[in-house]
Amino acid sequence: MIRILWIDPWTTTVGFAIIDKEKQDYNIIDFGVFSTTPKISINIKLLEIWNDIKEIIEKYKPDIISVEKLYFQNNAKTAIDVAQARWVVMYEAMKYNLDIQEYTPLQVKKAITWHWQAKKLQLQRALKIIFKLDKIPKPDDAADAIWLAYMWGLNS
């Protein structure tokens, strides 16, 4: 069995999912978001993210961490802040000697729906079917985290 931690890094909310994979079977252990304190400096937000990531790694002891690669077209400030949050996640993963995998949103869309222009709702419906869930996981950042943990499983 392999335990995968997937992180969808942002500065206000950080989506996460813990999934166990054994052969071709997937089991969602936990998912959700970490929220940072609103309207505080990026430095404090990064510290909050760092503490949350450390806590989840210590609680669930994953074997692998999968992190979404960044893609921004317009807002440089947001891109820099999110890149810093991503760095915090990756640094903490390296401290625990976790194997780090990275995927773009387009790779996920194509792997799960076979179409790179898939909408978020299409991905969420596929997720519901794949994991035999009663409803689509919420919030969206948590659902995003589940996709990427599943993506790692497809490539392993």
The residues that are catalytic are 8, 68, 141
Which long-range contacts (C-beta less than 8 Å, at least 24 apart) are formed by 137-140? 137/31, 139/13, 139/15, 139/33, 140/15
Rounded to the nearest 5°, which phi and psi values hold at 125?
-65, -40
Please, which residues bridge with residue 32 across strands? 16
- Rounded to whole angstroms, what are the CA distances from 17 to 25, 66, 70, 106? 16, 10, 18, 19
